[in-house]
Structures are given as structure tokens and as C-alpha cells.
Structure 1
Amino acid sequence: HSIIEISELKEAGVEIGPKTIMEASKEVLYGAHLKATDYELGYSLVLEDFYWLKHRLAYLVRDIKNDKYLPESLKERAMEIYDSFTDYKDF
């Protein structure tokens, strides 16, 4: 997950360091986080790790509902990711 996030941030031109979270735009940070989450959930399917998938989906829905820093512009994308994996959460 972290490797994908860092890769996405670097691709967006964000300098990685101790102040990255404080200085980078929330759009870019959360965009990278959502891309990493999507990858992580997909990889859990490849591994057939449905426990991990269910665990991470719970975090994702919690963040969608309660994370006051999640930009409104990315909530729809977050829900799309959640919805694309919900068929597998009860395996």
C-alpha cells in the first residue's frame, strides 16, 4: 500500500519527506491513498485473502463516512472502489 502511495505522490511531483502530509494537497494525498487502496483490495482478491479484504473494506467505508479531511471531490471515487469489492466481503 505504502509503495503505491509513494509512487503516486512522486508521479504527481510531490517531494517525499517528513513534511509531505502537511504540505501536499489533500486532493493529491487522498488520490494516492485511494489508488493504493484499490490496488491493495485487488491484490487481496488475487491472494484470496477475504479476511483482509473485509477488514480493509471496513476501514474504507469508515473513512468515507467519518474522515473530515477526505475531499468531497474524492468521496465518489472512494465509494466506487468500495462498491467494486463488496461482492467479495462475505466470502
Structure 2
Amino acid sequence: MACTATKSQADQDRFICIYCAYLNNNKTIAEGRSIPLSKAVENPTTTEIQDISSAIGLSAFLEKNKMYSGEWNCDVQCRGRVRI
């Protein structure tokens, strides 16, 4: 789902950005995981995060040209972020 042109810049600034590292159970908190290990998943992709967010009714779109600053060597599937 893409961001519509009717959204103002102020609305876009209020989005929450989610990177794969935030949800990855293979990462430590120092490496960027921001949720408890019991709720984290193994190697999530940005597409999976977008699909699940949309399935539960959140307005989510994918920005593939962004990268989490703590992962300078991440693979292609983990590049990008999901804005909700």
C-alpha cells in the first residue's frame, strides 16, 4: 500500500518507522532489537512487516531506499523500512 498524495507533510511526520532489526530475535538490544526476545521473530523482512501491518488494519507502506543505521551490511530482504 503506498502513501497517498492527499496526506500532508505533517501527517507523514507522525508515522512510526519500523526496521527489521527492531523485531529480529537474532539481534541484541545493543544491535537494534527494541522488543523483548520472547516477542521477536527470526529474520523478519520488510515485506512481511508491511503485509502483517496491513492485515491488522494499519496503513503501512514500504520505503525500500532506507536503511537502518546500525546495519551497514544487511542483506537485500532486510533493507528498507515500513512506515505505519
TM-score under structure 2 length normalisation? 0.29
Higher helix share: 1
Q: Which has the higher contact order (CA 8 A, sep 6+)?
A: 2
